[in-house]
Structure 1
Amino acid sequence: MNSTREIITLQFGHYSNFIGAHFWNLQESSFSYDEKNVKPLEICHDVLYREGVNIKGEVTYTPRMLCVDLKNSFYQLPDVHRGLYDLDSNNIEEEILGSSNNVQIIREETVPSNEFFSDLAKHEQCTDNDDDSKLNMTEKIYNLDDDVKIWSDFLKARFHPRTITSIDEYKHNDSNNVFNNFAQGHAIWDSYKIKETWTDNLRFYAEECDYLQGFQILMDSLDGFSGLASKSLEYLQDEYSNKNIIALPVMSDNSINDDENSKLQPVNTALLFSSLFEHSNMFVPLSTSSGGWVKSQSHISLDHLSYKNHLDYHSSAILASAIDTFSLGYRSRMDCSSINRLCTRLTPLGRKAVSASIKLPLGFETKSNLLDYLQNAKLPIWQPISPQCTTDMSVAQTINLRGITQNMLYSNILIRDSKNPSHHCTSASAMLKLFLSFCDPTRMTEVNAFDSTLETIAPYPNIFSQFINQHGFVETFSRPSTSVVMKSTAISGLHNSNSMRDMLVSLKTDSSKVKGSKLSHMFNYEIDVVDYKETLENLFVLSDNYLISDCL
Structure 2
Amino acid sequence: MKEILYIQAGPSANHVGTHFWNAQESYFTYGEDEDPTVFHDRSFREGVTSKVTLEGGVVEYRQDPIPKSAYQARLEAGESDELEDKDVTTDTSNVRFWSDYSRVYYHPRSFQKLPDLAEWERAEGEWNASKETFEKHEHEHDIMDDDVRFFIEECDGLQGVQLLSDCGSFGGFTDAFITAFRDEHPKIPSLAFALLSSASNILVHADEEQNAMKAINDALCMRSIEAMSTISVPLQHPSTWQRKEWLEGLNVDLRSQYHTSALLATHIESATLPLRLKRSQHDIASLSSMLNASGTLGISHLAGRYPVPSAVVWSRETERRLYDLSAITEASAKSGNTRAAEYARLHVSRGFNASEYAPYEDYFDARSPAPFSIHATPYPTPTSFPHISTSPSEKHRALSALTTSSATAPLLASYATLVQSCADRRADVIVRMGMEFDEMRELKDDLWALCDRYAGPDEEWKGEEDVLSEDEET
**2:341 matched residue in structure 1:** 393
Task: Sort the Cα spacing of 1:33 and 1:544 in 2 relative to 1 into closer, same or farther, 3 A.
Answer: same
Structure 2, gaps ≥5 residues long: 330-337, 459-474
Q: Which residue of 2 aligns with 1:76?
A: none
2:93 to 108, 125, 146: 146
Match in the other structure for 2:470: none
Residue 285 of structure 1 is matched in structure 2 by 234
The structural deviation recorded for 1:228 is 1.1
Name the one with the larger helix percent.
2
Is contact 1:505-1:543 (8 Å) kept? yes
Shift of the 384–216 alpha-carbon distance from structure 1 to 2, 3 Å rule, reads: same
Residues 254 and 214 of structure 1: CA distance in aligned 2, closer, same or farther (over 3 Å) = same
Alpha-carbon distance in 2 for matches of 1:147, 1:170: 29
State the partner residue of 2:440.
532
> How high is the TM-score relative to the length of structure 2?
0.84
In structure 1, the partner of 2:320 is: 380
Q: Deviations over 1:344-364 (max 9, x none)?
A: 121224111111101101111
Contact 1:290 1:387 in 2 (8 A): no
SS of 1:216's partner is strand
| Alpha-carbon offset, residue 521 of structure 1 | 3.2
Gaps of 5+ in 1: 53-58, 61-82, 84-90, 124-133, 366-371, 410-427, 473-486
Q: Quick one: distance in 1 between partners of 2:457 and 2:25?
A: 41
Q: 1:333 aligns with which of 274, 278, 282?
A: 278
* Residue type at the aligned position of 1:155: S
Q: Find the counterpart in structure 1 of residue 384 from structure 2.
A: 459
Task: Output the CA distance in 2 between the equivalents of 1:335 and 1:319.
Answer: 23
Task: Give the Å deviation of 1:392.
Answer: 3.6
How well do the aligned residues superpose, as a CA RMSD in angstroms? Answer: 3.1
Give the equivalent residue in structure 2 for 1:314.
259
Q: Distance in 1 between matches of 2:277 and 2:32?
A: 20
Q: CA 1:309/1:108 → structure 2, altered by over 3 Å: closer, same or farther?
A: farther
Shift of 1:42: 2.1
**Distance between the aligned counterparts of 1:36 and 1:493, measured in 2?**
32
Does the 8 Å contact 1:329/1:338 carry over to 2? Answer: yes
The letter of the residue matching 1:275 is S
C-alpha displacement at 1:109, in angstroms? 4.8
Tell me by how many angstroms 1:190 deviates. 3.2
Q: Is the 8 A contact 1:267 1:511 kept in 2?
A: yes
Q: Does 1:266 align with 2:215?
A: yes
Q: Normalized against structure 1, the TM-score is what?
A: 0.73
Distance in 2 between residues matched to 1:281 and 1:498, nearest whole Å: 18
Task: Report which of the two has the higher share of strand.
Answer: 1
1:107 to partner: Cα distance:
6.6
**What letter corresponds to residue 202 of structure 1 in structure 2?**
V
Flag the 1:311–1:341 CA change in 2: closer, same or farther, 3 A. Answer: same
Q: For 2:408, which of 500, 521, 526 is the aligned residue?
A: 500
Which one-letter code corresponds to 1:456 in the other structure?
T
What does the per-residue CA deviation read over 1:277-318, in whole Å, with 9 as the maximum and x for residues that have no partner?
A: 211111111136484xxxx77578421112111111111110
- Mapped partners of 1:386, 1:205: distance in 2: 30
Asked if the contact 2:347–2:402 (Cα under 8 Å) also holds between the matched residues in 1, the reply is yes
Q: 1:105/1:340 Cα in 2 relative to 1: closer, same or farther (>3 Å)?
A: farther
For the Cα contact (< 8 Å) 1:299–1:309, is it kept in 2? Answer: no
Q: Aligned pair 1:247/2:186, yes or no?
A: no
Contact 1:286 1:386 (C-alpha < 8 Å) held by counterparts: yes
Distance 1:287 1:433 in 2: 29
Distance 2:249 2:216 in 1: 35
Partners of 1:256 and 1:146 in 2: CA distance: 28
Say yes or no: does 1:48 pair with 2:43: yes
Cα distance change, pair 260–121 in 1 and its aligned pair in 2 (3 A): farther
Report the CA distance shift for 1:446/1:311 in structure 2 as closer, same or farther (over 3 A): same
Amino acid at match of 1:360: Y
Deviates more, 1:113-122 or 1:17-26: 113-122
Change (3 A) 1:162 1:23: same
SS at match of 1:276: helix
Query: Does the 8 Å contact 2:200/2:237 carry over to 1?
Result: no
How many corresponding residue pairs?
A: 439
Report percent identity of matched pairs.
24
